[in-house]
A and B are shown apart, each in its own frame.
Chain A
């Protein structure tokens, strides 16, 4: 029976598979190919792979953080490198914060029995129901007008003196403003998914540690955390993906210096004369981290996705 693990299939079946794969990956591959083409080649339509690949588009995109000056550029107009750095900072910090805070909350919910699991599931669903567009108005209003430090106050005055600028110090336009809303958006999902992993950690293990004299914090960090690594990986990927890809709230909250990559791409798309090559290169740079995660951690991603529906 050991040979029966793979059944022989109809050849038509494999044709279907190839078609499906082509359809799923085709557009992404097309973007990759086009990002190595000059605009002339894209527009004149030299189809297929018969073209001279060039990294010129990537040089144009990254011109403000390259260590050399690309020959074909007189002036670096696209500040892509800066927004790439913003994106990285925002995505990494919000992922780390969400994980730490979410982990602690999930542990408390499971072990100390605050609320039932149902309460958490329902609130996860409720938060998932809220579209980012709905948060746009209140977040814009609050971050700009209410969550501010008075410029005459102690801390606000200090920040204004140190970093310059006018008006009160507000959350809008800072990295932390964007990070705060991303953490809040992702927390329910992270708590919920980690919960389902923490439930599986045997209680005896923790009790043994406690008998050996470990406090609740030691039990959590030294015993529980190492055991739920797969759950942490899934949660991390999902949080990172949202923080990395999100456009709407970031565009409402960021200013010239805190723009993220999606905002930059949208701004460049809305111009009449789209420079396809450069735009595709920026799109590719934005797509690379999620693609890498997918290729290396698809099992965790599928766990995270199916935990949502199959177990819940």
Chain B
């Protein structure tokens, strides 16, 4: 009898710790944040002592030029970074999808930038961008060029370059994996039909890779909105607001300006933005799938 009871309880025992932790440390905090975003909230206060202010935090943000600027910086950063990385990563994967010696070594070395701490990545690039000591300017000067004011006038570009360095390998590795799992028969058939390499890439490889590429793009886009440490170490959001992305602004609002309510409202804006992106991406894939299925059905009917 007792063993039967244990057997029946086992699934719940297995799943309980995970469920409890997720509720305490993710679900509850997120609810708490939504609740807090409607309140005027100072870090020293308990939330029960705070005053209900309705949507005023949200309204205040929508009219705050600094917030709008940081929103636009975030969007520009994310879209530029993801487009460059997608083009470079997929391009490299198409180029390097050959049977060559040492491919695994190459892949191992490519993962390195992703694995080391963002703080360290920021540190390395801050050194290389340094106006006088930095490697890049020193190299430019040795070639006879003017040094560039990387983290000053061109801060956003510099931050984008660092992020491209760190994350292009991610897209490269995922697209390479996708390429190598393509059905060989389709490639073979196109080769027999006399397709050129370019035709093969655009009419066979890329369409077949599309589902993976869309997921990759989505994952990368989500991560691009999370970037914080690299920028914090390199520029601290400056000069001015030129590199202050939303994540950085949230943390500054919370810790420097000590307005937790406003920071919570800002976090909610960011979450809504990410949610919209994800939903849009999924809807797009779904529509494509349906269309593909309909075309296949048509072809089947004709036969």
Contact = CB atoms under 8 A, between A and B. Distances in A.
Nearest to A45: B138
Contacts, number: 279
Nearest to A285: B120
B254 interface: yes
A107 B11 CA distance: 9
A293 B120 CA distance: 16
A241 interface: yes
A213 to B, nearest CB: 10
Contact of B100 (A7, A43, A104, A252): A7
A136 B111 contact: no
A9 B122 CA distance: 36
Given A6-B101, A137-B254, A305-B174, A108 B11 contact: yes
Interface string B90-126: 0010011011110010111111110111111011111
Contacts of A47: 138
B17 interface: yes
A199 interface: no
Interface string A241-254: 10011011000100
A286 interface: yes
A137 B25 contact: no
Interface stretch (A65-73, A77-85, A275-283): A275-283
A287 B117 contact: yes
A111 B133 CA distance: 59
A25 B119 contact: no
A215 B26 CA distance: 33
Interface stretch (B79-87, B192-200, B212-220, B295-303): B212-220
A93 to B, nearest CB: 14
Nearest to B172: A20
A280 to B, nearest CB: 7
Given A114-B15, A138-B33, A141-B32, A279 B123 contact: yes
B215 A265 contact: no
B187 interface: no
B239 interface: no
Interface residues on B, range: 35 or more
Given A28-B116, A31-B124, A306-B174, A295 B270 contact: no
B267 A137 contact: yes
Interface residues on A, range: 35 or more
B177 A302 contact: yes
A192 B32 CA distance: 26
Interface stretch (B60-68, B145-153, B243-251, B286-294): B243-251
A27 B165 contact: yes
A20 B106 contact: yes
A145 to B, nearest CB: 5
Interface in B219-263: 219, 222, 225-226, 228-229, 232-233, 236, 246-248, 250-251, 254-255, 260, 263
Contacts of A132: 226, 228, 247
A contact face: mostly helix, strand, loop, or mixed: helix
Query: Could you say which of B29, B111, B229 has the most chain A C-beta atoms within 10 Å of its C-beta?
Result: B29
B208 interface: no
Contact of A247 (B24, B119, B246): B119
A37 to B, nearest CB: 11
Contacts of A61: none
A180 B21 contact: yes
A181 interface: yes
A76 interface: no
Nearest to B142: A47
Given A104-B17, A105-B17, A131-B270, A136 B98 contact: no
Contact of A42 (B10, B13, B133, B173): B133
A28 B113 contact: yes
Interface string A297-312: 0110110011011101
A136 B262 CA distance: 13
A108 B118 contact: no
Contacts of A312: 215
Given A31-B123, A298-B107, A114 B222 contact: no
Given A191-B18, A276-B127, A293-B115, 6 more contacts: A17-B96, A137-B264, A138-B264, A146-B46, A216-B6, A309-B216
7 contacts: A105-B17, A131-B247, A138-B32, A291-B115, A294-B112, A302-B111, A308-B215
